[in-house]
Amino acid sequence: MFMMMYLFITCLMLTIIMMSMNIIISKKKMMDREKSSPFECGFDPISSPRTPFSLRFYLISIIFLIFDIEIVILFPLIPSMWFSNPMIWIFMFLIFSVLLIWGVYIEWNDGSLYWMK
């Protein structure tokens, strides 16, 4: 019990010391226009860096990440086929496939997959 408490206090103190040292020796104390402006090949920016971001692009990228993760989850199913009960494996694969196709169907009906509107 005391060992865990000692370890916790040591880690906490080390973290506080490192954060304090970072604040003390940080070189980013002075803010000037050149340091706070976006870098564009050494020139002043042509347009404002705070232009509105396309929400459609963000939505498509999130959908891509979700389905990409689902594909990564599908990869271990193939080797596990040899070591599990075939009926259980087929049942799990069908459930996962139906959920994946259902998600695509919902996104399609919602209109999220259309880039230009």
- CA distance linking residue 55 with residue 21, whole number of Å: 40
> Whole-prediction pTM value?
0.47
pLDDT tens-digit readout, 36-81 = 666 666 666 666 666 676 777 777 788 888 888 888 888 888 888 8
Kindly state whether residue 103 falls inside one of the protein's structural domains: yes
In a domain, 20, yes or no: no
Please tell me the total count of domains within the chain: 1
114 token code pair: 């259309």
Q: Structural domain of residue 95, as residue ranges?
A: 55-110
41 falls within a domain: no
- The answer to the question of residue 83 being in a domain is yes
